[in-house]
Structures are given as C-alpha cells and as structure tokens.
Structure 1
C-alpha cells in the first residue's frame, strides 16, 4: 500500500497563507491611510489658514504704510506746522485747516478714525471729530505719562465717550504720532496724531474669512503686550479663551517661529489654532477653527473607507478560497497520480501532500541512481562500446559483432540498411556546466536521449550514444522512409524534441543531420562529415537544425574576408564619432559578408577585424591626452569562445561603443577648454574696442564659425552677447562706485558709441543708466532704515 498524506491538509495551509497575504497589506494600508489622510488634511488646512492670515497681514502692513505716508505728507505741510508750533492760533485759520484735513484725508480714507493736531506750547489739541476741542482722556493720559512716545508706531488704545451721567462708550483705535522735538518732560512740543479705525480692520478680516463663517472660525489680533486689538464684544468670552490658550502655548516655542499651528481645547471643544507674526506692527494674528468641522468630511471618508475595506476583506476571503483551490488543483492531481503509480513506497503515513511528494521524489531519485548503476552494468557498457565503435570505425565492425549486438545487447539497427547520423550539441555549454552538477548534467543528457529516442522510435529504428567530446550521436535506419521527404521529416521530429526538452529542462540544443549512407558500414564517413559541419552553429545560431543542403553555400564559398571598403568605413565612423554609421557598418560586416563565409574563413575575417581595431586605436592614441585602454588579447579570447556570430558581433559592438564614448568625451572636454579660454579673453580685454567674435577667433587661430558654435554649445549664448553683458556689468560697477562721467566709463568698457550703449543698457536693465543708479541708491537707503 502506498503512503497516503493527510487529506487536503496542504490546501488549508495555502488558504491560510493567501488570506494572510491579502489581509495584512490591506489592514496596514487602512491604518497608514487613516493616519496619512488626517495629517494631509491638517497640513492642507494649515496652508489655507496661512494664506488667509498672510492676506490679513498684508492688509495690516498696507494699512500701516498708508497711514505713515499720510502722516508724513500732512506733517510737513505749512498749515499744519503753523497750528502745532505757534503760540497764537487764529480760530478761523485753525477751523479751515481742520476742515481741509477732514476733506482731503479723513473723508477719503475709511481706515482713518480721526486726526489730532497737538500744540505742545498751548497744551491743546484740535480734532477732526464733530467736537473740535474734544477731550480724549486716554490720549491725555498717554501724553502725561512722561515716557517717550514712539514715532510712527501703532499704539492700540480706546477712546472714551460720555453718553450720559454715568454711562460711557468706548471705541477701539490704533494711534500713530509724528513729532520732531520733545520738552524736558518727554512730551512732544508739537505733534500730528492719526487714529486708525479698528472696526475697519476687523471688518476687513471678517470679509477675508467669510468663506469659513459657517464653521464658526475666529481671528483675533494680539499686540506686543498680548492684549486683544479691537475686541469684539459679542465674542469677548471666546476671544479671551483663545488668547489664554495661545499664551499658554507661547512658552518660547511658538513665538520663536513666524508662523505655525497647534491644537487645544477651548470651552470644552477641540480647536485647530493657526498663528502668524506681523513684523511691522509687532502683532500676532491668531485663527481658531473647530477641529471637528475641519475633519467632518474626513470622518465621513473614514467610515466610507472602513465599509469598503470590510467589503474588500469579504471578497478577499472568497478570492483566497478560489485561488487556493486553483493552486492546489495541480498538486492534488499530482498526488493522485503519484499515489496511483508509485506503489513501491512504504506504508508510512505522511503529514501533508508536500511531504508525501518530497518522499516520492527522493524515492524516484533513488530509482534513477539505481538506473545509473544498471547503466554501468556490463550489458550497458558493452552496448555503448559497440555504438561508439560503429560510429568511429564502422568498417571494422564484423557481421558477427553486429548480429551479437542485436541479439545480446538489444541494438535495434540493421547493418546493411541506409542510415543517417545526427549530431546533438547542448547550447551555452559553459553555462550548462556551471548551472548543473555532474549528476544533474548526466540526468539532463539522459532526458535528452530518452525524449528524442521516444519521438524517433515511432518512425525509425534508432539508437543514441553519448560521445565524450561534448555531443550526442543518434543513428537512424532509413530503409522504409521516402527519401524525398526524409530530411523534412527528420527536421520536424527534431523541432518537436527541441520543444519538449526546452520546456522540461530549460536548455536549448543544436542539431546537424548528415547525408544518407548506403549502409551502416559507411557511417563513420558521414559522422566525420556531420561533426565537421556542426561547427556552423556559429553562423546559424543556437537551436539550429542544419544539414549539408543548408551549409553548402558557406562551405563552397572561397572568399577569405569581408570587403576593404567596409573596413575603411568602420574606421572612419569610429574616428568621427558617428555611432549610427558604426553600428550599421558593423552589421553589414558580420551579417552581410562574414555570415556567408566558410567556418575557417569566418575566424580569419574576425581576426582581421580585431587587428583593424587595434591599429586604429594605436593611431587615435597618438593624438589623445588620455589613451584608449583596450585589452585585445582578452577580446580575442572572448571572440573565439563565442558560440554564435551574434555573440561575436555584440562583443565587437561593445568595444566600438566604448571607443565612441571616449571620443565623445574627449571632444566635449576640448570644447569646454575652448569656451573657458574665450571667457578669460573677454574678461581680460573687454576694454579693447576691437573685442569681437573675429578678434577672439584670431587669438585662438580658429574660424569665427567654429568659435561661435563651440561657445554657443557650452553657454547657450553668442560671443557678442557675452561681450556686451561683461561690458554692461563693468559699467554698472563704475556708475555705482565712482564719480566718472559717462564718456570715461564708455572708454573703460571699450564702447565708443554712446547711443548704442544706452540702447544695450536699457534692453538689459529696463531703465537708463542714471535711473538704474538712483534705484540702487534708494534701495540701499531703505535697507539702512
């Protein structure tokens, strides 16, 4: 009884591993997706908040600039100077000036709340409010603080209004002061005071942020004292809580950064809080969003993704069952086949199918070893000896020996019937010997012989013997076969054998079929002829099936080598660096001419080609700084060990590509040297009016066309443009750092035509020279401020 495995136990293992392989990546993907999507949304929301805050920041900065510009334009006007510095001010004159300010500044600038004209001598101030002599308690307190008041800097404060006996109203403003002198108590002797409207600023912020209004987003402004600028009474409690949370996080890690975000709880809700710092105002913008509102769509996506993943898991389980059964089916069939045919195995019980098949394989190997031992028995040794003798010296085999070989050794051949010898060689012999052990090589050779004999035995009497010099010889009796279609039939059968052997053993083989001998007594002559002509695998490639009819054109070709014109064309193509011509010429040499030669002349032609490349390399190295290094001895060894003409072609092609690459690099280095020399010449002699393309070409003893092409390939610009750029750069240096007049500067940069210089300068810099210098000076002044 054969040893049966556990019933379908390996099927359950396959199902487990496939399910795990499907589920584990899916679960990992889901976890990573949840984390990554949440972080991506958070980062995306942060970027959107940054854009809003930057827009608010820009508006605040723009507001600051407009107010400062308005103050400067008003402060130095004679009418205002008179009101803030004179001891005696005419009331009518003062009224006219205040009305003028109302009309020209307050009326057209919605961000200006009011303007004060403070006279330090009389300790009074005039306002653009409806009450001309309105008393601003907060402002007066600020003046009497005896602290130096900042100029043109925003000062958040509140203006107090009385609306009844005990009731008061407040307006949030941002105050700017401009003055020149102070008295002994640090009070301005005269000042212009502009109050900006906080309400306008907050309304602007709300307009910018209106896209997020449905999500209850809030933005507050904190001054340098961490006080809220323009507190909204409706949201005062939320604003104070947001301020407290920001201050709690502002332990140095937040305020040290210009912008950033964090999350925290405010009034029992989780918020995403984004902040950015306004340098000009020394303010901080803080925006708060309800965290759940930000991630509301992500939560929906999570649930949707979860449902999809569960559905995919269910489908994966069903798929794993289907795939497991499909994978197991050939294993199950194989187990059934082995169980039904391998009855010689012991009755031991196996844990699963693979263990059973492994034991069956080991049992088969033992059987093969036993076969090998039988093969080495006297009968097999004598049969092999007889077949080798028949092939190598067929005329020495007597009739009695032949009869004895048939009756005692089982040889299935007839001595006096026509016969054919087929030479079989395994392709890629070196790789074959490296891939397989000695035992495995014998097993493959046995497989080749066994499969081929089984195919040919249906049509011919056939025997096979392994010869000791890397090939197998097959002997076929062809007495009952139509000679007209004989070679076609044999070729068809060998093609079938090649297919089976390639499929089962992953090796290819080439075959040479001899001509028909009248009897097996003439077999040696046909064998020698077939063995000599089997070398034409070199020309016809691996897996070829050859005969005298196919190789006759090569064997009868008396031409020694390939044409001299192709030899010269190959050398010229390599020297000129023409890769396309080189490969085309090499293809013609190998496949149009060498492929038509006889076997011996093929090697003569290849040796000639190697010598041609060797001489060309010596000639090229005489003119090169870095010589080409090619080991032609190793090249020859590789060529003679190649099995096909295609392999020889590919080896030579690699050498040619190496030569072309080195030639191209040398040409590139040469162009780089020329281009760098041109740059050095221009920088050294740009003041020479004669400096031009032809001047440079004459210096280098090259043609103007060659200089222009080389420089353009390296710098993507013309020599003339580069000369003009150098001269203009030097001119800007003289304009900024010297007091030379334009005529002297033109002389120093080598230009004589002033109008041409102005045209070049304006084309490059967009403005005339004087305006360019003036713009540079203004930028420097602004940097100092």
Structure 2
C-alpha cells in the first residue's frame, strides 16, 4: 500500500506511464486488426481466383459434354432403322422391334444415357426404351407427353434441358436433349428424338472438381434461363425454396450492379454468411453458381486471428513491463530534481504549521519553485547591480565622497569591505588582450569575465573580506581589506592567493593573467588613487613578462628613476652599424639600449622605445634609397611593434631580427652589380629562348659587356656556362610542350630555338634519357 501511495503521489509519472502504455496498446491492437483484415482479404481474393478457375473448368466440361451428346444425336437421327419409328404412318411390328433394338444398342454403348424417346408426329405416338415407360401403364409416357407438348414452354433443340422424369420432389433426375430436322424450337408438327442424359453424368465432374478444388465442401448450382436453380446434390434437397431464392437474388443484384458475366458476392443466406461465385454459360443460357460457407473459408483466418490476439496479449504484457521500466527511467532525472527542489522549499513544520497539500503535478511544483527563485534572483540581481555601481564609482571617483559617506554606503549595501582597517586594490589583466579581443566573441568575453570575477572573489574571500568587480571589460579589480579585530591577519597572503587565482583561470580557461597590487591605505577616498597605482604597476609586466604579480617594491627603481632618454651616442652607433652592415656592433648597441630601458619609468620607457624604433626605421629607409637592389624589410613594422608586443624581451628580439635583415642587405656594391648582371642574363634567356640566334655573343652585346667577361662571371657564380643554362631553359620548355600540347616534335624544336634536329635529339636524350617521341609516348601512356 505504501508503494501504491508513493506511485499515486507522482502524478507526472502516472501520465507518462499511462501515455506509453496506451500508445503501445493502441499500436498492438491496431496492428493485430490490420493484420487479420489483410489476411482475410488475401484469403478471400485467393479463394475467388480459385473459384473462377473451377467455374471456367466446369463451363468447359459442360461444353465438351454437349458436343459428345450432339455427335451421338446426329448418329441416332440419321439411323435408317430409327427413321421408320420417326416418320412411318403405320409402323409394322417388326420395324418397331428392330427400331427398339437399335435404340437399345445405343443405350448399351453410351453409359451416360438414361433412356431414348422417339416422337412420330404422323402417328402422334411416343416410343421409349426405359422400363418404367413400358411397364408403368403409361404414367411415364404421359409425363413425357405433358412436358413435350407444354404450350407455355417451347423447347429449344440441341440443348440440354433439365427435367424431372421420375422424381416428384422437384429435383431434376435427367437432362433432355431434343433432336429435330430443323433448328427451330420444337413443335407438334415435326418428329423428334429425345435423348435423356443422366443427371449424375452431368454433375459428376462438378462434384469431383468441388472436392478437389476446395476443402470447404461448397455446393454447385445450375440456374437455367428462367432463373430456376438445380443442385448438384441429387440425394437430398439441401437448399429449400427460400435459400434458392436468396441465392438467385444475390447473383442477379450483383449482375445488374456491375453488368458482368462472372463475379463474386458475399451475402447472408438464412442468416449465415456465404461466398457466392457465379459464371454465365453463353451456349446454354445457364449460370453456374458455386456457394461456400464464409465461416468455413475463414476458419484458418479465425485461428490466425486468435493466435494473433494471444501473441498481442503476450507482447502487451511485455510492453507494460517495458513501459513501467521506461517510465521510471525517464522519470529518474525529474525525481532527482524534485529531491533538490524539496530541500530548497520552506519547511513550516518547525513553526508548528502543517505542510500544505500540493495540487498539480511535479512540473507545477518545479514551475512554482522556479518562479519563487526567479523573483528572489531578480531581487539579488538588482541589489548586485547597485553594489557593482558603487564599487565602480569608488574606484573611479572616490575623491568625490567623504570617508563618512563611503562608510554609510558600504554598510547600507552590505559590501564586504572592512570599515576599520587597511585596504589594498588588486588589478587583474588578461595578457595579450589585443589577440584575445580579436579572437573571442562578445558572449564568450562576458562568460570569461564572469568566471574571473567569481573565481577571484571565491579564492580571495577565503582569507580576506573582499569585493570583486569588472571594469571596462578588460580587467577585474579586487578590493581586499582586513578587519581590525584580527590583528594577526596581514596582507602577506594576498600574493599567494593571486597566484592561485592565476593558476585556476589558466587551468580551466587557458587564459594568462597579470596583476598589479597597490600599497595598503586606510581612508576610503584613496581607493581611486590605489586603483590607479595598481593599474600602473600592472603595466610594468613589460619588464617582468606575463603572469606577473607586481608590487611597488618590485619596481621601485623604475618608479624613482630620473633617466628618461637613451643617450644619443648609442642611437648614433646603432644607425652607423646598420648602414655599414655590421650586425655584431648593431646587436651590441641594441642590447645596451634595452638594458637602460629596463630601468626607466613606464611612460619614459615607451617614449624611448618609440624613438629607438624611428631611428632604426630612418636608417633602413636611407639605406634603401641608396641601394640598387630593393631592401626587403618591412620598415613600418618597427613602429607597430610597440603596440603589438607586451614585454621588453619580445620587443628586443623583434628589433634584433630587424637589424639582421637590414645588415644582411648591406653587401658590397660590386656584388650588387654582379647580381644585377646575372639576373639580367637569366631574364634575357627566359624571354628569348625561342630565338634561334640567341647566343652568348648576342647577350653580351645586349648588356654592353664583352662575351668573355659575362661568360666567366656567369660560370663563377652559377657553376654552369651560359650555353648550358640556355639549353637547360630550352629543354625544360620543350618538355612542357611535349606533355601539354599536340605540336609535332619538329615544331616544338623550332619553338624552343633549335634548328638542327639531331643536335636537339642528342641534347634531349642526354637530359631526360629518351628521345622526344619516346618521352611523349611514355607520358601519354602513364
């Protein structure tokens, strides 16, 4: 009962469980119903197709029987001995006996004959072979005469006509087949032969096909042109008049509705469902009807349906188990959340008040708790906004407040700042902030700032009363104080705690921080002064590098330094060494300059660095103006470097690299001239390689120098002669043309400046190991 009570209290779990269970139940039931419906339709279609084949075969058998009887009737009609019985006005007894014997011989030779009757219209007499006809005192003869001369029903010739010759119950026992000398319906004015066919012989094939084609034991009927139904079961009148009438109405209704000669209809016969198949026999104007019990046909379907229901019930039980497990699995996170929420809900039991019953499901509880917390958070957020405002105001404009005013504001807003003892201000700045600002989105910046503020406040507040606030988005300020009640507490732990803050931020966010720590002060109006001091101290990371914690004691020499410029002699020696290409002297002077810079105050340091960079830039520009070859140095970077680099060490390395580039370009003038001559020769060869007349002499004439001089200069500088270099250029172009164009080898030779094929082939094979034609063939195959 306790478990049920717990379950009953979990309203959302109930909804989830009921929803999943109902979904599974509906799906399983729908699946079962659809499967059984599809199966029933499939069985019915298969049965209809099977019945159609059976009816087609029956129609064929009836046609074949009619053909056999037609052939026999022709033999009988043309028999001379029987002709006397048909047409003689007075039949002698011997002719009667001979005719009777002849009819009997036909009877003996044809097992399907019941009897044969002959009507002689001149004598108005009927002769027959059956025993009842001869011995019953004229009763059978009267039946034949009554049927034959029925004025309301003229009989067609050469057609099987169902008749009841000996039975009194209305069921047929023979089929009559009239044969006359004309094709018109029979009349009393002409003689006729009547062949009586055993109904068993006609229906025998129907019953056999019924037994073979179906296990359900259907019944076959033949409906004549008047709509009268005759059954294949002659032993009993299995279908009463009402049943036959219902069958006939169902078939005629379906025929009229769809205007077809064969089809299927499902209907009720004596309150039982049946499948009725029918097909018209166009030769005899009959309709063959096959009636089957629908319940028997669908016996397998019912069994399958029961099995499906049993399987569905089994799977339903499994689904219920899975539903319960899945519901609790889905409900577990909600239950955990509810436990946490209940811990935060106000408990009124201690006050003697009963906990009120809660209405609604778990989400209503969460929603109400969320709204309660949201209102509380808005109150806290509003209070925090006010607190952050006053903290920023203290940092920037504390001189506008008196000590007493600030004391009241601190107490009023509950700021965690001691009102009775010393205070220090710490400024935390992100190193390489320019790169951080370029590569970080606005949302990420807010997240980082929020993290730094909270982590810094949490770590520092473990030992000191502390407030943390973000200022201008690029740094965080900590206002750290110590209470007078704890005399042993000093600011000695501030630096280790800041180091812990740096390590934590770097570990979780991969950000490097530098920090400036102001001197302690007691009067609140000095907060702005301490904040500016901490900012200035943070700037001195240019000397100590990133991740520095800087106090005024560490940079005291810089703060008291009187020197503000680099001596002119150092700048002069540096520029002279650059102009002369003396890298070691330039590096020595640059090192002296940076050694002095490290002792300057921050502002003087930046100014001196800027002057030094401009001096180097001017020297490089002067060198570039006086050289024949362009100096490959980015002169503007020397002045931009101060904005991009954050430490003296980085700036020193950058300027030293710039000195190296400038000095590397200071080669002797003769070397510049020779390089220019060599570049000119190479450029001429690249431009005029296709000229057959291009040679060392023509090149010498172009550059206004002797052939021997340029030949020796080129050989000494490159290690190959001008002719060898020229052939190398020409052969490379020939190689490209062979690979990429469809020119002939002779055309390529001429385009590359060769006039002698054998000379060209020899050079090409010497360089590539094959003739031009072989080379092209190999490349096309590969």
Larger Rg: 2
Same-fold call, TM > 0.5? no
The structure, 1 or 2, with the larger RCO (C-alpha pairs under 8 Å, 6+ apart) is 1
TM-score (norm 1): 0.43
